[in-house]
């Protein structure tokens, strides 16, 4: 099986994907085929072997995780997946059960295709996966959710209380806002400008921007202050807390229990709680995933997808031909798409060339821009301009190729693209991929390696974005106003400033110039 290992503490580059023996469950354990895991702040500390700003805590972490090097070389704490086998003393779970949980704190090991955990504590907290959640969402629930539950329990009865959640856009913060709202508190959430719309959508009554508001001068005090990110300055805390009020912080010891996991399950099924997923990385992009979380800017949770890796392993012989098979449309999805209309053979050929180039990129772990010759790309644009790209499959093939174009444009390594070709590239992304998002055809989206396709519903904007994570860029389109942007992938365009910075061309102007009819 594939697993992400680290032999020394350090930066994300210490992580590498290796082959390991599939584990065998002990009598009290279940063997889980892991579908998803996460990169939490805690996973980052384990990888670094250091706790931010505290030698004492670093010492404690090293005592448990290994003094000089990691004692347990497979990283990863949270997981979701399906029980594949059970030990003979297991009574609670059965093969085929969808489960989620943690390997509890410092035990680690969930960045692997298979994982053994005891059916009950100690050494693993596991429960049935809430049916409302995808595997990716379920993997992101335990650590942040249980920590938020613990903090709220410490805060006492919240009904009718005023609660301030500081760091509301992180994993713990997004859960804390939802839980405090559910418990009847009047919630004031604090985050940066970029995350205000997200936090408001979680139910906060009021959202304050910490980059604009001096909390020491707010002139209001709260019954409870929750520091969900561990960065609230003491001066602000003192100014915000009413006399006799409660202050709780993530910078304290919290525990994990099966009861908490079951409570989270219940809250999710009742529709009270939902994980916020920022990004999903395939297992082989684990270094990029850790790089991103190291930035300290993640919104909610970052997920690691292990199913793609599993598929690769299962079809190792097929791997070399896999993309080719997809290209000629042999999967059931593609058969369905093909039956709608014949594909464009020229585009199919170009697509196959591009697949081969990407394979080279993947093998060498570099993106060699020179491999993407301009002529090759221009032919795709010509096909688009001639309206020869008609079927959803054609659109996807062209999208595959044009993701690079967009990325290079954004990076400034490609400057010669004409506005009409840019628009066509954009149109393609927003129609072909948009269709698939609407149909929730995630299998096809994944097959085509479009790393991130999301529809974000902000107060005023419905944004469709497609991006290619290796380049960190995305197209964004506002379906209501017709505006469009080419922006770094972590941009939400929730602020006027960001929208101004990354806007690339007014769609209406381009439509008029190139006589393209609106959808
Ligand atoms: N006690 C426990 O068992 C436990 C469990 C889980 C987590 N934790 C700890 O809790 C902390 C939060 O973890 P997490 O995973 O929930 O958070 P996280 O997702 O890593 O937090 C990142 C978020 O915090 C925001 N942020 C960054 N600097 C900020 C600041 N100065 N003021 C306000 N917000 C800021 C960021 O957005 P902007 O930069 O845009 O503001 C980002 O959305 C970590 O230190 C983690 O180790 C403790």
Distance of CA 268 to CAs 156, 176, 198, 211, Å? 21, 14, 18, 32
- CA-proximal residue: ligand 1, atom 21 (nearest): 170
Phi, psi of 497 (to 5 degrees): -65, -45
The residue whose CA is least distant from atom 4 of ligand 1 is 250
pLDDT at 378 over 80: no
Report how far ligand 1's centroid is from the alpha carbon of 497 (Å): 24
Kindly give the number of the ligand 1 atom that is closest to the alpha carbon of 40: 15
165 has pLDDT over 50: yes
Are 76 and 21 contacting, i.e. CB atoms less than 8 angstroms apart? no
Q: How confident is the model at residue 399 (pLDDT cuts 50, 70, 90)?
A: low
403: pLDDT strictly greater than 50: yes
User: Measured in angstroms, how far is the CA atom of residue 381 from the centroid of ligand 1?
Assistant: 43
Among 102, 215, 238, CA closest to 168: 215
Judged against a pLDDT cut of 70, whether residue 333 lies above it is answered with: no
pLDDT of 281 above 50? yes
Render pLDDT for 233-251 as a digit per residue (tens, 0 to 9): 999 999 999 999 999 999 8
Task: Report the pLDDT value the prediction gives residue 258, as an integer from 0 to 100.
Answer: 86
> Is the pLDDT reported for residue 290 higher than 50?
yes
| Nearest protein CA to atom 34 of ligand 1, as residue | 167
pLDDT tops 70 at residue 172 = yes
Rounded Cα–Cα distance for residues 206 and 204 (Å): 5
Residue bearing the CA closest to ligand 1, atom 25: 167
- Contact of 398 with 383, CB cutoff 8 Å: yes
The residue contributing the CA closest to ligand 1 atom 39 is: 297
- Among 143, 176, 178, 250, say which to mutate for ligand 1: greatest number of ligand atoms within 8 Å of CB: 250
Supply the residue whose CA is at minimum distance from atom 22 of ligand 1: 170
Q: What's the CA gap between 482 and 477, in Å, rounded?
A: 7
Work out the mean pLDDT of the chain and round it to a whole number: 75
Q: Which of 53, 170, 227 to mutate to test the pocket of ligand 1 (most atoms within 8 A of CB)?
A: 170
Per-position b or e across 331-347, b if 16+ CB within 10 A of its CB = bebbeebbeeeebbeeb
What residues contact 453, with CB distance under 8 A and at least 6 apart? 433, 436, 437, 445, 465, 466, 467
pLDDT of residue 377: 61
For ligand 1, the distance from its centroid to the CA atom of residue 165, given in whole angstroms, is 11
As a whole number, mean pLDDT of residues 48-64 equals 84
Domain boundaries, the chain: 2-141+275-308, 145-249, 316-514
Helix (H) or strand (E) holding 99: strand 98-102
- Of the ranges 170-174, 274-278, 318-322, 377-381, which is most confident? 170-174
**235-249, 390-404, 455-469: which is most confident:** 235-249
The Cα 430–Cα 455 span in angstroms is 11
**Which residue, by CA, sits nearest to atom 26 of ligand 1?**
167
Find the 175 Cα to ligand 1 centroid distance in Å: 12
Of the two residues 347 and 172, the one the predictor is more confident about is 172
434 C-alpha to ligand 1 centroid (Å)? 32
DSSP state, residue 516: P
Q: What are phi and psi of 194, to 5 degrees?
A: -55, -35
Residue located nearest, by CA, to atom 19 of ligand 1: 170
Residue 511 backbone dihedrals phi, psi, to 5 degrees: -60, -45
- Identify each DSSP E strand in 450-507 by its residue range: 452-457, 462-468, 473-478, 484-488
Residue 168 C-alpha to ligand 1 middle, in angstroms?
A: 8
Asked if residues 245 and 221 have their Cβ atoms less than 8 Å apart, the reply is yes
- Residues 164-191, mean pLDDT to the nearest whole number: 97
Q: What is the rounded distance in angstroms from the CA atom of residue 418 to the CA atom of residue 518? A: 20
Averaged pLDDT for residues 316-334: 34
Work out the pLDDT band at 438, boundaries 50, 70, 90. very low
Q: Name the E strands within 372-502.
A: 452-457, 462-468, 473-478, 484-488
| pLDDT number for residue 126 | 94
**Lowest-confidence range among 129-143, 195-209, 270-284, 431-445?**
431-445
Ligand 1 mean position, distance from CA 348 (Å): 45
490: which 2 tokens? Answer: 């972590």
**pLDDT (0 to 100) of residue 199:** 93
Question: Which has the higher per-residue pLDDT, 492 or 17?
Answer: 17
Counting Cβ atoms within 10 Å, is residue 292 exposed (0-12), middle (13-18) or buried (19+)?
A: buried
Percent of the chain with pLDDT strictly greater than 70 = 61
pLDDT higher than 50, residue 51: yes
Confidence of residue 365 (pLDDT cuts 50, 70, 90): low
Give distance in angstroms: CA of 250 to centre of ligand 1: 9
Whether residue 78 is preceded by a cis peptide bond, meaning omega within 30 degrees of 0, is no
Closest-CA residue, ligand 1 atom 47, reads 41
Q: How far is the CA of 139 from the centre of ligand 1 (A)?
A: 18
Query: What whole-number distance in Å separates Cα of residue 390 and Cα of residue 421?
Result: 17
CA of 174 to the centre of ligand 1 (A): 10
For residues 43 and 515, the model is more confident at: 43
- Residue 77 pLDDT > 60: yes
Residue nearest to atom 3 of ligand 1 (CA): 254
Mutate to test the pocket of ligand 1, among 229, 276, 289 (most ligand atoms within 8 A of CB): 229
CATH homologous superfamily of 2-141+275-308: Medium-chain alcohol dehydrogenases, catalytic domain (3.90.180.10)
Closest protein CA for atom 11 of ligand 1: 229
Distance (Å) from CA 306 to ligand 1 centroid: 25
**Contact yes or no for 183/159 (Cβ under 8 A):** yes
Task: Please name which of 421, 425, 455, 419 lies closest in space to residue 439, comparing C-alpha atoms.
Answer: 455
pLDDT-wise least confident of 100-114, 189-203, 441-455: 441-455
Q: Where are the alpha helices (DSSP H) in 273-373?
A: 286-294, 307-314, 316-327, 332-340, 345-364
Ligand 1 binding pocket, CB closer than 6 Å: 40-42, 143-144, 147, 166-167, 169-173, 191-192, 194-195, 210, 229-231, 250, 252, 254, 296-299
The CA 324 to ligand 1 mean position distance, Å, reads: 43
Taking residues 117-127, report their average pLDDT: 84
Q: How far is Cα of residue 380 from the mean position of the Cα atoms in its chain?
A: 30
Q: How confident is the model at residue 34 (pLDDT cuts 50, 70, 90)?
A: very high
Asked whether the predicted pLDDT for residue 452 surpasses 60, the reply is: no
Q: Rounded to whole angstroms, how far apart are CA atoms 92 and 167?
A: 37
What superfamily in CATH does domain 145-249 come from? NAD(P)-binding Rossmann-like Domain (3.40.50.720)
Burial class (CB in 10 A: 0-12, 13-18, 19+), 412: exposed
Q: How far is the CA of 230 from the centre of ligand 1 (A)?
A: 7
């Amino acid at each position: 099986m594939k697993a992400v290992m680290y032999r020394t503490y350090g930066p994300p580059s210490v992580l590498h994907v290796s082959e390991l023996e599939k584990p065998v469950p002990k009598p009290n354990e279940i063997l889980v085929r892991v579908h998803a895991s996460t990169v939490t702040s805690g996973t980052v500390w384990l990888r670094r072997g250091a706790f931010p700003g505290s030698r004492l805590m670093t010492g404690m972490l090293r005592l448990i995780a290994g003094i000089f090097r990691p004692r347990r070389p497979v990283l990863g704490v949270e997981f979701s997946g399906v029980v594949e086998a059970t030990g003979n003393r297991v009574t609670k779970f059965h093969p085929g059960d969808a489960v989620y949980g943690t390997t509890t704190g410092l035990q680690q090991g969930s960045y692997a295709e298979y994982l053994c955990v005891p059916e009950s504590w100690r050494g693993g907290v596991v429960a049935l996966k809430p049916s409302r959640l995808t595997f990716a969402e379920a993997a992101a629930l335990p650590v942040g959710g249980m920590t938020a539950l613990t903090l709220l329990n410490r805060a006492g009865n919240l009904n009718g209380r005023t609660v301030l959640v500081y760091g509301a856009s992180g994993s713990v913060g997004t859960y804390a806002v939802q839980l405090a709202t559910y418990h009847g508190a009047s919630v004031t959430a604090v985050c940066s400008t970029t995350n205000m719309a997200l936090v408001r959508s979680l139910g906060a009554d009021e959202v304050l921007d910490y980059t604009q508001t001096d909390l020491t001068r707010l002139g209001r005090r709260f019954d409870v202050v929750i520091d969900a990110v561990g960065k609230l300055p003491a001066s602000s805390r003192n100014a915000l807390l009413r006399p006799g009020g409660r202050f709780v912080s993530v910078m304290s010891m919290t525990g994990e229990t099966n009861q908490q996991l079951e409570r989270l399950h219940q809250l999710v099924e009742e529709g009270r709680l939902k994980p916020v997923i920022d990004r999903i990385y395939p297992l082989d992009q684990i270094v990029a995933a850790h790089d991103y979380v190291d930035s300290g800017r993640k919104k909610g949770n970052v997920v690691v997808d292990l199913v793609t890796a599993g598929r690769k392993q299962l079809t190792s012989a097929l791997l070399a031909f896999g993309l080719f098979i997809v290209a000629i449309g042999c999967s059931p999805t593609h058969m369905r798409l093909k039956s709608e209309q014949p594909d464009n053979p020229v585009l199919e050929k170009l697509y196959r060339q591009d697949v081969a180039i990407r394979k080279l990129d993947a093998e060498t772990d570099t993106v060699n821009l020179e491999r993407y010759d301009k002529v090759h790309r221009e032919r795709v644009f010509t096909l688009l301009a001639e309206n020869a790209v008609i079927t959803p499959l054609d659109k996807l093939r062209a999208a595959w190729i044009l993701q690079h174009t967009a990325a290079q444009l954004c990076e400034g390594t490609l400057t010669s693209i004409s506005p009409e070709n840019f628009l066509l590239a954009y149109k393609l992304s927003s129609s072909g991929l948009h269709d698939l998002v609407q149909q929730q055809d995630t299998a096809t989206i994944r097959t085509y390696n479009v790393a991130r396709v999301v529809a974000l519903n902000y107060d005023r904007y419905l944004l469709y974005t497609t991006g290619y994570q290796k380049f960190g860029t995305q197209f964004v389109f506002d379906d209501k106003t017709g505006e469009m942007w080419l922006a770094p992938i972590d941009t939400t365009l929730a602020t006027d400033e960001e929208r101004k910075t990354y806007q690339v061309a007014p769609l209406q102007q381009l439509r008029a110039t190139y006589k393209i009819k609106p959808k």
